[in-house]
Structure 1
Amino acid sequence: MLGSGNAVASRSVPWIEKHRPVSISEIAHQDEVTRTLVTAVRTGNIPHLLFYGPPGTGKTSTILACARELYGPDWRAKVLELNASDERGIKVVRDKVKNFAAQVVAGNGPAFKIIILDEADTMTREAQSALRRTMETYSKVTRFCLVCNYVTRIIEPLASRCAKFRFKPLAPQAMNERLRDIANKEGMPLSDELVASVVGAAGGDMRCAVTTLQSAAALGGVAALEREEIAELSGAVPPSVLAPFWAAVGARDFDALQRAVRDALAEGWPVDGLLRALLTTATEDDALTDETKAKFAASLAEAEGRLIDGAGEELQLLHVGASMISAA
């Protein structure tokens, strides 16, 4: 475990920030992206960028690493990072973004600043349209990097002005190596079996894996935890939570389905985790035909899309269950 003295302070720092890659070469399992960006950074010829892909695949870490290599120790003065899910209205674009974009670039390095808009797919269409105009006006002195999970939610006039880079879920081997490196730096012993449990529960999401590892360390170390406890730390939904849901589907009992959905939500399980667990269970069920699995997957996709648009969680889970009953 961590040593004494600075141990408490060290544990209080999120490991995902403490061990964030500081150079492009440290980004794991995104070779096609990093090869292109290394050349762009070396020449100083950076276009507007659009990074998209699942959570925890290194999108934000990559653009921050680019900024460090472009600007050196003073990179923070030339980078504005906003979480568009919190500040996604047109007023933010007109005020914060436009004011920063208009500033004159001083000092050494490239003659442009970088504005990072994380979770840009949550911005309103009006804000995205205003952002397009701002990108055109200040393109000589500012580069924009849009980071999102769903590229289809970025309006075409905005997406077409950016070089697009897709980030894929991390391979288990890459996650294994990174977790062992972090554990080694933290003085934390790991067994092969439980590292595999952390990697499996994370599902290609390095942020989730590192956070789970830190949570395990705070509870006495991964070596002291069972596979089920690791899954719970990662936020994965255990099969027991979904058992009443599947029982109601099998019995074609909508009232029981409604109770199962309400109970799962009342226990605090995140709806995205419930949807992922339902998909995993359904695809691994040999009793279901491929056609039934395809219909169920389509229903889950529809529900996820509606949830992103602000639909109610209970209603969407009920829709998924009802679709499964009708398809069975």
Structure 2
Amino acid sequence: MPASEPPKANLPWVEKYRPKGLDELISHTDIIRTLDKFIKDDQLPHLLFYGPPGTGKTSTILACARKIYSSTQLNSMVLELNASDDRGIGIVRGVILNFASTRTIFKGGFKLIILDEADAMTSDAQNALRRIIEKYTENVRFCIICNYLSKIIPALQSRCTRFRFAPLSEEQIMPRLNYVIDQEKVTVTEDGKQALITLAKGDMRKVLNILQSASMAYDEVNENSVYLCTGQPLKSDIMHIVNWMMNEDFKTAYSQILELKTAKGLALEDILTDVHALVHRIDYPPDIRIHLLSKMADVEHRLSVGTSEKVQLSSLIAAFQAVADKMVE
């Protein structure tokens, strides 16, 4: 999927291969088609993009901006504020109000204000923004971008046309991934590609970041190198851990898992996430599966509030050994 201009060699791959136009975006065809019609009909409303990270929200609005304005107009007609900027009421009453209230003398049309990571804005700032959106609609359009819709006040939501950006599927990620691999001449195995997609969980940005890191650390990007590069436990490690917990005595299981954790620098939280996925795939009786999931949820909660990993590892092993004893009976 070639870019409209040659990418710069020294950029991170995430920026180097960021789509430049609407036709280069790899997903959400319904959203792109709708936005394209808005722009062609000169009927662009205020927009609210929400969804998980790495699903194309910022890339989409930047591509829209390039379609609306010429390259010479972008700096004067588009204001982009992201997570690194102040999010209090001062920035709304200052920078945003000044930009929205001033018209350009020689250029017609509306300006565009992009508020990225808007769920970090304070409630006071969001309330101050309501009136600006209404008062200066003739002069400016807003695009509010967030990960969590619940953190945007209802009054702002009602003033915008909402679009949800879902996590990307494997079919959407793979063509772009193959294009970057070809461009960068990276050696990637099929199991390496699957590992990238599994770990990314629909986040295109994460796919490219892991690919770049693994390609710099190893000659070949395969499943092992991807998992080692990200510090995630291998599938074989998880199988060993579950096998030890179910079949070995408590002391042996504890020492073997602790040795594996220390040798590979694994976090118990990551182990727990993968064990949770494995429990869903193993054909346990319903009551056994419910018991294990409940116990793992308790362990994860205790880890999240800062308890000792060694103590929680003991609790995890105890839960599996209690199940193993029950199944023997």
TM-score interval (norm. to shorter):
0.7 to 0.9
Quote the offset at 1:202 in angstroms.
1.1
1:105 aligns with 2:101: no
Does structure 2 retain, via aligned residues, the 8 Å contact 1:209–1:234?
A: no
Identity %: 36
Deviation per residue, 1:168-223 (Å, 9 max, x gap): 111112211001111222233433332222122211110000111111232244xx
- Runs of 4+ that moved beyond 6 A: 321-325
Distance 1:49 1:24 in 2: 16
Distance 1:46 1:289 in 2: 51
Quote the offset at 1:137 in angstroms.
2.1
Q: Structure 2 vs 1, CA of residues 227 and 125 (structure 1 numbering), >3 Å: closer, same or farther?
A: same
Give the AA of the match of 2:192: L
Does structure 2 retain, via aligned residues, the 8 Å contact 1:105–1:112?
A: no
List alignment gaps of at least 5 residues for structure 2.
1-6, 324-329
User: Could you tell me the TM-score, scaled by structure 2's length?
Assistant: 0.74
Report SS of the residue matched to 2:71: helix
Give the AA of the match of 1:314: G
Does structure 2 retain, via aligned residues, the 8 Å contact 1:283–1:293?
A: no
Distance 1:293 1:166 in 2: 35
Match of 1:209 in 2: 207
Does structure 1 retain, via aligned residues, the 8 Å contact 2:49–2:163?
A: yes
Deviation per residue, 1:80-117 (Å, 9 max, x gap): 111247532222222222222222135556x1111111
Distance 1:294 1:103 in 2: 60
Report SS of the residue matched to 1:175: helix
Match of 1:160 in 2: 158
Quote the offset at 1:51 in angstroms.
0.6
List alignment gaps of at least 5 residues for structure 1.
1-6, 304-311
Distance 2:266 2:99 in 1: 40
Report SS of the residue matched to 1:72: coil
Distance 1:212 1:154 in 2: 31
Distance 1:274 1:131 in 2: 43
Does structure 1 retain, via aligned residues, the 8 Å contact 2:58–2:116?
A: yes
User: Could you tell me the TM-score, scaled by structure 1's length?
Assistant: 0.74
Matches within 5 A, 1:1-328: 10=9, 12-74=10-72, 75-84=74-83, 86-108=85-107, 111-221=109-219, 224-234=220-230, 236=232, 277=274, 279-287=276-284, 289=286, 292=290, 296=294, 313-314=305-306
Does structure 2 retain, via aligned residues, the 8 Å contact 1:282–1:293?
A: no
Does structure 2 retain, via aligned residues, the 8 Å contact 1:85–1:120?
A: no
Q: Structure 2 vs 1, CA of residues 18 and 299 (structure 1 numbering), >3 Å: closer, same or farther?
A: same
Distance 2:175 2:204 in 1: 11
Give the AA of the match of 2:200: A
Distance 1:270 1:98 in 2: 47
Deviation per residue, 1:209-268 (Å, 9 max, x gap): 0111111232244xx234132134356455759959x96xxx99xxx9xxx9xx99xx69
Does structure 1 retain, via aligned residues, the 8 Å contact 2:50–2:146?
A: yes
Report SS of the residue matched to 1:314: coil
Quote the offset at 1:299 in angstroms.
5.8
Does structure 2 retain, via aligned residues, the 8 Å contact 1:105–1:141?
A: no
Does structure 1 retain, via aligned residues, the 8 Å contact 2:191–2:222?
A: no
